[in-house]
A and B are shown apart, each in its own frame.
Chain A
Amino acid sequence: MTRVVIIGAGPAGLAAAAAAGRVARVTVIDDNTEAGGQIWRRTRNAWTIEHPGVETKFQARVIAATQADVTIETPDSCERLPFDKLILATGARELFLPFPGWTLPQVTGAGGLQALVKSGLNIQGKSVVVAGTGPLLLAVAAYLKSKGATIPLIAEQAPAARVNRFARSLLSHPGKLWQGARLKARLLGVPYRTDCWVESAEPGMLRLRTPGGSGSQPFDYLAIGYGLWPNTELAQLAGCRLSNGFVEVDAAQRTSIPNIYCAGEPTGIGGVDMALAEGRIAGCHATGQPTPPLPNRAFVQALTTTFALRPEVRAVATADTIVCRCEDVPLSRIQSCQGWREAKLQTRCGMGPCQGRICGPAIQTILGWPHQSIREPVFPARIESLLT
C-alpha cells in the first residue's frame, strides 16, 4: 500500500487525507493540538471518526524533510517517517510589517488576536481596531464582534476603487458571495474605511493615515494583518522549486520533485475553497485515483491585485523601528547593508530562534531582499532530535 504523509491538517491537508485515505496508508502531521488549521476548528475526535483509515499526529512538528522521509519532533519524542508520497499542506502565516509601536503588547496579528480569543482571552467590551489588508480583516472583525468586542474601525489600506471592483467580481463566485454577504450583515454598523492604514501606535492611541491626511484613533487592541505569507520552508528544504515566492506545481499539484505534492496556500494565497480543491487533487493523484478538475485561479489573481500593498505602507517603518524582534535590530542598521547576508552577518538580523520567519517577509516587503537561506532544522529543535 502506498504510504502517504501529509504535513498540515488545515483544509488542504484534510481534503488530501480524505481523498488519499480511501486507498492508501495516510499519516497527517500537524503541530497544533487538533485538526483545522487556521480556519477550521473541529475537534480531533470528530475528524478521526469520519476518517478511520487516516492516522493523525498532533503537536508534532516536522523539522526536516528529504525526498524520502520527514523528521518529526513531538514534545517528548522524535522520529523519522519514510514516505512514498509527501503532500505539503503547510499553509501560510501572517505578514507582519513593522511600524513604530508594533511591538506593543496591545498590538497583535489579525489572525493572532482571533487565536488568542479562541484560547481564552476575554475581549468583552474592548475596543479593537482591525487594520491591514484583505478579506481576512472582515472575518476577524466579525469574529471579535461576536465575542463582545467593539470594532470602532476596520482600516483597509487598499484603495476604494479596487475593493469595489473586487466586491463586484464576487458575483461570479457564488460561494464567495454568500460568505461576503454574511460577513457584511454581521458587521453592519462597523465603519470600514479603505485607503487607510496605521502609521504608528502608542499605548491607547493609534495614528492613522490616508492619502490626504492623518488622524488619531483610541484603541485597546490593534489586530493588524497585511495578508498571508506562504510557508514554503519545508518545500525548499526538500528541494522543490519556487516561482515568485510560491511552490511551483503542475495541474496535479505535483512539485518539481516527482513524489512531493503541494496544496493550499504555499502554492498561492487563494482561500479555503481553493485549498480544499487543491488538497483533493493532490490526494487523488498521489494515490493513482482520477483527479477532479483544477479550480479556476481567477479569484486568487483578483485577491492579489486588489490587496497589493501600497508604497506608503511599505514605508511606515522608520529608521529606529525594530525589524528583527529576536535580535532587536532596527531598520537603519539593516538598511546600511547591501543585502540579506551582509545584514545577517553584521547585525545578527534573522539569526534568532525565528530564523527570519517573521523579519524575512518584512524585509523582503520593505527592501526587496528575498530570504532563502533555509536549513535543517526549519524550526528550533531539541538537539536530541537531531540525533535520530
Chain B
Amino acid sequence: MAADAIVIGAGIVGAACADELARCGLKVLIVEAGEIGGGATAAGMGHIVVMDDSEAEFALTHYSARLWEELADELPSGAEYTAAGTLWVAADDEEMAEVRRKHSFYAQRGVRTEILDAQDLEQAEPNLRKGLAGALFVPADAIVYPPRVAAFLVECACRNGARLERGRRIHNMAELANATALIVNATGASAPALSPGLDIQPRKGHLLITDRYPGFVRHQLVELGYLKSAHSIDEDSVAFNVQPRQTGQVLIGSSRQYGSSDPAIEHRMMKRMLERAALYMPSIGRLSAIRGWTGFRASTPGKLPYIGRSPRQPNVWIASGHEGLGITTSLATAKLLADQILNRQPAIPLEPYAPNG
C-alpha cells in the first residue's frame, strides 16, 4: 500500500492526527519507535482543561474540550473519562481577584463557571487546608487516562485502513523517500531531531501517584499561583496540582524544569513538589505513595503548539510543541491539521499555531 500520509509518532497527538486523516479517506501509515502512547503521553496527568492564558490558547483548548465531550461516549472504559471539573484554588484575596477575572473571561466566551467562597470550597474539598479564600469551579473540565486513549485512536485509524509500523525509529526524513506521501512530524519533544530548526525545548515534569483513597480528592485541584510559576521560563518551579483518578488514586503534580534530559527522578524536585502539595492538603502526607515518574513536555517560545506546514521541509507537516496541554489539545490539533491538508474551513483561526523555523 502506498501511503498518502505518514504519521511519525503514536503519542496522543500523532494518534489523533492519524485517526482524523484516516477518517477523511487518506491512506495513513503510522510509524512509532516504541509503545503507542509511551512518550509524554504515558506521563501526562490527562487533565482536559480550558485555559485562558491567551486568546489563542483559549480558542484551542476550548475547541478541543468540546471535541472530547463528543468523543467521550465512544471511549473504552480504560480511557477513564471522568467529567470531574476543575477547581482553581485561590489562597488569598489577590488570587480571589484572579478568580473573578477568570470568571468573567470565561462567561464572555460561553464557558460556564462558578465562584466558590471559602466555605463552599471547604465543603467541596474537605481535605484542603482551612483558611483558603475560595476557588473558581469549571464543571466541564475532565480527566482521562492518556495512553489508553492514544491506543484507542490508533485502533480507530486502523479500522479506517491505517497501518501501524511499530518498533521503527525514523532517523531522517530522507528515509521516507515516498515522493507523494505527506509526512506528519508528531514526535513530541523529539520533533527537532527530524525537523531541524524547530524551536522546541524539553521541559521536565515529575508526578507521583498514591494507593487508592476514593473521595480524598473530588475535583482536579490547581493552585492559581500555577499560572505565575508555569510560565517563569528560567526557573525550576513546582505547583499544587492534584487529581482524583477513576481508580480512587490521587495523582500529584507537578514540576517544571528546563535543561534536563535525564528521566531519573530528582529527589530535590520531588520533595519540593510534595511539600507544595502538603501545604495545600496537609493530610496528604499520610497517604501511601506507590510510584513516581517523570516526563518531558515539548515547550515552544510562544507557549502554543505548532500545527501546520513546515516552513523548511516540503511535504512535512508539524504537529508538536504542546507543552503541558497536549492531551487536551490533541483532538483539535488533528482537526486543524486535516483542515489545512484537505483545504477545509477551520473552526478557529490557524495563524497562531504556524510552525516557526
Q: Name the distance in Å between B327's Cβ and chain A's nearest Cβ.
A: 14
The reply to whether A346 and B147 form a contact with Cβ atoms under 8 Å apart is: yes
Q: Is B265 an interface residue (CB 8 A)?
A: yes
Complexed CA–CA distance, A377 and B290 (Å): 7
**How many chain B residues touch A (Cβ–Cβ < 8 Å)?**
34
Q: Which residue of A lies closest to B150 (CB)?
A: A345
Question: A380 with B278: in contact, given A341-B35, A353-B211 (CB under 8 Å)?
Answer: no
The reply to whether A375 and B286 form a contact with Cβ atoms under 8 Å apart is: no
Additional pairs, 17, CB under 8 Å, beyond known A342-B35, A383-B274: A339-B35, A345-B37, A345-B42, A346-B147, A351-B291, A375-B293, A376-B292, A377-B289, A380-B211, A380-B288, A380-B289, A383-B210, A383-B285, A383-B286, A386-B208, A387-B271, A387-B274
User: Which residues of chain B from 256 to 294 have a CB within 8 Å of any chain A CB?
Assistant: 265, 267, 270-271, 274-275, 277-278, 284-293
The reply to whether A341 and B38 form a contact with Cβ atoms under 8 Å apart is: yes
Contact sample, A vs B, 21 pairs, CB 8 Å cutoff: A338-B166, A341-B38, A345-B35, A345-B36, A346-B78, A346-B151, A353-B288, A375-B291, A375-B293, A376-B265, A376-B292, A377-B292, A380-B211, A382-B287, A383-B210, A383-B252, A383-B274, A383-B285, A383-B286, A386-B274, A387-B275
Q: Is A384 an interface residue (CB 8 A)?
A: yes
The reply to whether A346 and B148 form a contact with Cβ atoms under 8 Å apart is: yes
Complexed CA–CA distance, A384 and B35 (Å): 34
Q: Is A352 an interface residue (CB 8 A)?
A: yes
The reply to whether A381 and B166 form a contact with Cβ atoms under 8 Å apart is: no
User: Which residues of chain A from 352 to 377 have a CB within 8 Å of any chain B CB?
Assistant: 352-353, 355, 375-377
Q: Which residue of B lies closest to A377 (CB)?
A: B289
The reply to whether A352 and B290 form a contact with Cβ atoms under 8 Å apart is: yes
How does the 8 Å CB contact mask read for B289-332 relative to A, with 1 for contact and 0 for none? 11111000000000000000000000000000000000000000
Chain B residues with CB under 8 Å of A380's CB are: 211, 288-290
The reply to whether A345 and B147 form a contact with Cβ atoms under 8 Å apart is: yes
Q: Which residue of B lies closest to A381 (CB)?
A: B289
Chain B residues with CB under 8 Å of A347's CB are: 78
Chain A residues with CB under 8 Å of B286's CB are: 382-384
Complexed CA–CA distance, A197 and B36 (Å): 39
Complexed CA–CA distance, A135 and B62 (Å): 65
Complexed CA–CA distance, A1 and B179 (Å): 72
Nearest 7 A-B pairs (CB), nearest first?
A384-B285, A345-B147, A380-B288, A342-B35, A380-B290, A383-B285, A383-B289
Complexed CA–CA distance, A347 and B35 (Å): 13
Q: Which residue of A lies closest to B41 (CB)?
A: A345
Q: Name the distance in Å between A149's Cβ and chain B's nearest Cβ.
A: 35
The reply to whether B289 and A382 form a contact with Cβ atoms under 8 Å apart is: yes
Chain A residues with CB under 8 Å of B36's CB are: 342, 345-346
Q: Which residue of B lies closest to A327 (CB)?
A: B247
Complexed CA–CA distance, A382 and B151 (Å): 33
Chain A residues with CB under 8 Å of B42's CB are: 345
The reply to whether A382 and B78 form a contact with Cβ atoms under 8 Å apart is: no
Residues on A lying within 8 angstroms of B by beta carbon are 338-339, 341-342, 345-348, 351-353, 355, 375-377, 380-384, 386-387
Complexed CA–CA distance, A153 and B345 (Å): 76
Question: A387 with B291: in contact, given A342-B36, A346-B151, A376-B265 (CB under 8 Å)?
Answer: no
Question: A355 with B291: in contact, given A345-B35, A345-B38, A375-B265 (CB under 8 Å)?
Answer: yes
Q: Name the distance in Å between B276's Cβ and chain A's nearest Cβ.
A: 11
User: Which residues of chain B from 172 to 230 have a CB within 8 Å of any chain A CB?
Assistant: 208, 210-211
Complexed CA–CA distance, A382 and B208 (Å): 12
Complexed CA–CA distance, A348 and B290 (Å): 13
Complexed CA–CA distance, A8 and B193 (Å): 47
Q: Name the distance in Å between A58's Cβ and chain B's nearest Cβ.
A: 20
User: Which residues of chain B from 1 to 49 have a CB within 8 Å of any chain A CB?
Assistant: 34-38, 42
Complexed CA–CA distance, A130 and B8 (Å): 54
Complexed CA–CA distance, A298 and B153 (Å): 54
Chain A residues with CB under 8 Å of B37's CB are: 345
How does the 8 Å CB contact mask read for B116-143 relative to A, with 1 for contact and 0 for none? 0000000000000000000000000000
The reply to whether B208 and A383 form a contact with Cβ atoms under 8 Å apart is: yes
The reply to whether B278 and A384 form a contact with Cβ atoms under 8 Å apart is: yes
Q: Name the distance in Å between A356's Cβ and chain B's nearest Cβ.
A: 10
Interface centre among B35, B211, B270, B271 (most CB of A within 10 A): B35
Chain B residues with CB under 8 Å of A384's CB are: 278, 285-286
Q: Name the distance in Å between B39's Cβ and chain A's nearest Cβ.
A: 11
Q: Name the distance in Å between A386's Cβ and chain B's nearest Cβ.
A: 6
Q: Name the distance in Å between A156's Cβ and chain B's nearest Cβ.
A: 36
Chain A residues with CB under 8 Å of B275's CB are: 387
Chain A residues with CB under 8 Å of B151's CB are: 346
Interface centre among B277, B278, B284, B285 (most CB of A within 10 A): B285
Complexed CA–CA distance, A377 and B210 (Å): 11
Chain B residues with CB under 8 Å of A355's CB are: 290-291
The reply to whether B287 and A383 form a contact with Cβ atoms under 8 Å apart is: yes
Complexed CA–CA distance, A387 and B276 (Å): 11
Complexed CA–CA distance, A24 and B23 (Å): 71
Complexed CA–CA distance, A348 and B147 (Å): 10
Complexed CA–CA distance, A20 and B77 (Å): 56
Chain B residues with CB under 8 Å of A342's CB are: 35-36, 38
Complexed CA–CA distance, A151 and B291 (Å): 41
Chain B residues with CB under 8 Å of A352's CB are: 290
Q: Name the distance in Å between A10's Cβ and chain B's nearest Cβ.
A: 25
Q: Name the distance in Å between B317's Cβ and chain A's nearest Cβ.
A: 27
Complexed CA–CA distance, A345 and B46 (Å): 14
Chain B residues with CB under 8 Å of A341's CB are: 34-35, 38
The reply to whether B265 and A383 form a contact with Cβ atoms under 8 Å apart is: no
Chain A residues with CB under 8 Å of B265's CB are: 375-376
